[in-house]
Structure 1
Amino acid sequence: MFRGVHNLTVDVKGRLKIPTRHQGQIDEICAGKMVLSIHPDDPCLLLYPLKEWQVLERKISALPALNIHTKRLKRKLIGHATDCELDGVSRLLIPATLREYANFSKKIIMSGQGHNFELWDEDAWHKQLDSLDALSKQESVPEAVSQLSL
């Protein structure tokens, strides 16, 4: 499971160094083979180990092909997917088109989401958190969430 928020930088060539604490996991799970794509709803990127991505891709492929939501998901998520592999020093090259989509500056946030990571421009990350906090105050807490014991 990928956990934690990491403040990282993208170098001038568009490479991102994976935090040391995740390098062993990534090597064990997928031998450094990853898939990077855009988030269909948020201005961030999604980074999956290849095996986890393949599970997600199969689930999406099983959805009704003519459904407008399925088409949107396929075109955004699968259509922008890029295979990538960590280099010898655990860096990942983020293609320019994906960096542009997420409006990356030099500073980014890598947030563990369990089976994958989200990659955010640092400013956009903080704005998103503020927005989520404001929105959550406007809605009631779902029963399933309120029953969690932290």
Structure 2
Amino acid sequence: MFRGIHLLAMDAKGRIKIPTRHLGQVTKICSGQMVMSIHPDDPCLVLYPLKDWQQLELKIGELPSLNIHTKKLSRKLIGHAIDCELDKIGRILIPSSHKNYANLNNKVILSGQGKSFEIWDERAWKDQIEKIERLSNQTEVPQEISKLSL
């Protein structure tokens, strides 16, 4: 499971280094083979180990293909997917098209999301957290979350 938030520097070529904390796990799970795509709803990228990405693709493929929400999800998530492999020192290359989509600058946030990562521009991440905080204060907490014991 990928957990935690990491502030990373993106180099001039658009590479980021997977934190040491996760590097061994990524190597073990997928031999460094990962898939990157754009997030269908948020201005960030998603990064999955290959086997978890393949499972997600299968689930999307089982959805009704003529449904507009399925089309949106498929076109954004699968249509923008690229294979990426860790280099010898544990970096991945973010293509310029993906950097542009997420408005990535030299400081990025790598956020563990369990089976995947999100990649955010540092400022956009802070804005998103503030936005979620404001919105969550305006709506009632769902029963499922209220039942969760921490």
User: Displacement, 1:106?
Assistant: 0.3
- The TM-score normalised by the length of structure 2 is 0.99
State the alpha-carbon separation in 1 of the partners of residues 125 and 72 from structure 2.
Answer: 24
Identity, % of aligned positions: 63
Instruction: List aligned pairs for 1:1-80, cutoff 5 A.
Output: 1-80=1-80
Q: Which runs of 4+ in 1 moved over 3 A?
A: none
Structure 1: give runs of 5+ residues left out of the alignment: none
User: Displacement, 1:22?
Assistant: 0.3
Tell me the alpha carbon deviations over residues 68-115 of structure 1, each in whole angstroms, 9 at most, x when there is no partner: 111111100000000000000000000010000000010000000000
Per the alignment, residue 115 of structure 2 pairs with 115
Structure 2: give runs of 5+ residues left out of the alignment: none
State the alpha-carbon separation in 1 of the partners of residues 69 and 142 from structure 2.
Answer: 24
Amino acid at match of 1:53: W
User: Displacement, 1:16?
Assistant: 0.4
Aligned length: 150
1:105 aligns with 2:99: no
State the alpha-carbon separation in 2 of the partners of residues 8 and 140 from structure 1.
Answer: 35
Tell me the alpha carbon deviations over residues 16-35 of structure 1, each in whole angstroms, 9 at most, x when there is no partner: 00000000000000000000
Per the alignment, residue 141 of structure 1 pairs with 141
SS of equivalent residue, structure 2 residue 138: coil
State the alpha-carbon separation in 2 of the partners of residues 105 and 15 from structure 1.
Answer: 11
1:93 aligns with 2:96: no
SS of equivalent residue, structure 2 residue 76: helix
State the alpha-carbon separation in 2 of the partners of residues 82 and 32 from structure 1.
Answer: 14
Amino acid at match of 2:100: E
